[in-house]
Structure 1
Amino acid sequence: MINLKDKIIVIVGAAGLVGQNLIVQLKGYKHIVAIDKHAYNLNILKDLHPDVETILADMANSGDWQNAFADATCLVMLQAQITGKNSALFVRNNIESTQRVLEAARQHHVPYIVHISSSVVNSVADDDYTHTKKQQEEIVIRSGIKHCILRPTLMFGWFDPKHLGWLSRFMKWVPVFPIPGHGRYMRQPLYNKDFCRMIIHCMENQPDGAIYDVVGNDQVDYVDIIRTIKKVKKLKTLIIHIPYSLFYALLKIYAVFSRKPPFTADQLKALTAGDHFTGVNTQEVFGVTQTPFEEAIRETFWDEEYSQIVLKR
């Protein structure tokens, strides 16, 4: 195991869901450089961690931000376009940004990379996110830099502007919460706090060329995820089922008027695709025992320090 606490760690895409949670877990690390293009979210990170160096930059463009890689011992790659209304966004933020980041890593001889991919590369989904995440992995593998790749399933936890975080806020705002079809779409949600501990294990042990499928231990149907959030947050919202085709049509219509729709028709198709992922034993591989789902949901929404902080999309 390598002691990195006095070394320079560069985290790109640091102001998003995983990055914010990761930096919370990196207490004791003295030289963290956090790079992101989202000013609002980066300011949240800076306020929470004034000792962390923050750099506002669009990594799809070459620039002075690349000089921050000098003397770095480890690079954690988190940047990703997850939802969007056109393929150009995915190419820019998943492909072009990765090329610029790796260009800087090679220039400054960064010895190790932890790249966060996604379980969608093993999915039956056929969309821009899936295609570009597969390409992104290949770019990292061909980089010539020692690395490992983690492929997490659907993540939730503190700071979440999308996914379960958005669903929980929507449930609080409305008297009726719609469920597409029967709602029995099995998910394998992964608690971000647990996942960040796995990232730190990889940073410190630096497996070479390893690819890890990381899956939440609990298999939970979508409708039961919603019910658990309702229970934990003590909400009175009525949960109703509506036909899948109507739900899909409503998402399509909403996307016409919303610049950043929180839930898209492509994501609905992915939700109902019937994927079942298998992953590594996280206790054996990373020394991380996963938090039971309901306990993790309770910690997500009731933590005194972090549960009320929400990032912007």
Structure 2
Amino acid sequence: MKEKKKIYLITGAAGFIGSNFIQYLYKKEEDIEVRVLDKLTYSGNMESLKEFKDREDFSFTHGDICDEVLVDELMQDVNVVINFAAEAAVDRSIESSRSFLDTDIGGVYVLLEAARKQKKLQRFIQVSTDEVYGQIMSGSFTESSELKPRNPYSASKLGGDRLAYSYFATYQMPVVITRAANTYGPMAYPEKVIPLFITNLIDGLQVPIYGEGKQIRDWLHVSDHCSAIYHLIENGESGEVYNVAADQEFTNIDLTHKILALMKRDNSWITYVKDRPGHDFRYSLDCAKLKEIGWNSEYNLIKGLEETVEWYQENEDWWRPVKEKMDQRYIKGFWGK
């Protein structure tokens, strides 16, 4: 008797990391069914999923993870749930945080409640963020570090993160939580720093640096992020948190210089703008725990930036319509001069 297809429910998959993950998943597995649920908010883009829409083993539902009836329907007989759905912009959360609480906590609750009814559930991946730790001036965060989020976005993500853990502790659900570094690569929403700077330069616009550009970020290519999540479906231990990083720490100004060099621009293309309120100075993750179970990153920042710049240069038809609809404050500096 032929074994039934493994069924995946992937939420938020019209977004950056989710759409890249579906590409990765179909390269790894053939006999699967992929169900996508996405609200198609500002950062969701159906163009990122167009190559899958005619597949018999793929279905897309336009809807909200907070919709209990819809989620119950899509959750039937699911084996693996991966929750990418989130409100995910720090600047936006500082201006208005309610939608972040609704989606990043309330939506996670709805997914968990529906998932715990499924007898065939093998894994529930809650995609969290390194920002739940807050900032660190030296050393690196481990999974047991104190959790001190410093803005409404990271606080809401922590709520979903810990709620997911509680469903492991209380109901023995096969939950795994990932906390990844800043992720970049193809199909990233162009308000994010790397695609924003690349597309600004393509358009002959300056790139806005918050403050003095001394903040430090740990950069992870989206392909490595996807491979880590996929690795944890089979190899992660239920109830555990795993940091995901590639040991690629750079100041924002150093990152900017690398993008400028790749695009043959000099420092005159930089404009310094007002800093974000409560801007975290440094993120750094220790991901020894993930490496111990057999995962390793493949990209350094230079290789990743080269491929990313090339992708945006070759795919203006993807990003131009998106950027035209984007909050235009990002282009010149969200918080002004």
TM-score (norm: length of structure 1):
0.82
Counterpart for residue 142 of structure 2: none
The offset of 1:303, in angstroms, is: 4.0
Instruction: Tell me whether 1:14 sits opposite 2:22 in the alignment.
Output: no
Q: Distance in 2 between matches of 1:47 and 1:185?
A: 36
Do residues 100 (structure 1) and 110 (structure 2) align? yes
Query: What is the match of residue 174 of structure 2?
Result: 146
Q: Please state how far the C-alpha of 1:305 moved relative to its aligned partner.
A: 11
> How far apart, CA to CA, are the structure 1 residues paired with 2:59 and 2:133?
35
| Alignment-mate amino acid for residue 16 of structure 1 | G
Q: CA deviation at 1:215?
A: 2.1
Secondary structure class of the residue paired with 2:86:
coil
Match 1:279 to one of 274, 279, 287: 287
SS at match of 1:225: helix
Q: Which residue among 155, 159, 165 is the counterpart of 1:135? A: 159
Is 2:62 the partner of 1:44?
A: no
Give the C-alpha shift of residue 235 in structure 1.
4.2
Partner deviation per Cα, 1:177-220 (whole Å, 9 max, x = no partner): 34344323221111111110011111123421121112231111
Q: How does 1:162-241 map to 2 (within 5 A)?
A: 162-163=191-192, 164-235=194-265, 238-240=268-270
CA distance in 2, matches of 1:185, 1:42: 30
Matched, 1:54 2:81: no
Structure-1 separation of matches of 2:267 and 2:205: 5
Q: Which residue of 1 aligns with 2:99?
A: 89
Q: Deviations over 1:136-189 (max 9, x none)?
A: 111101122111111001110110113221232123334433434432322111
Change (3 A) 1:233 1:284: farther
User: Counterpart of 2:140?
Assistant: none
Offset, 1:281: 6.1
The separation in 1 between residues aligned to 2:11 and 2:4, in whole angstroms, is: 18
SS at match of 1:207: coil
What is the SS of the residue equivalent to 1:55? strand
**What one-letter code is carried by the residue in structure 1 that aligns with 2:298?**
Q
CA drift at 1:117: 0.4
Spell out, residue by residue over 1:72-127, the C-alpha distance to the aligned partner (whole angstroms, 9 max, x if none): 11111111112223121111110111111112112333332111100011114521
> Which stretches in structure 1 are left out of the alignment for 5+ residues?
249-264
User: How many residue pairs were aligned?
Assistant: 288
Relative distance call for 1:279 and 1:149 in structure 2 (3 A) is: same
Identity of aligned residues (%): 19
Q: Name the SS of the counterpart of 2:188 in structure 1.
A: coil
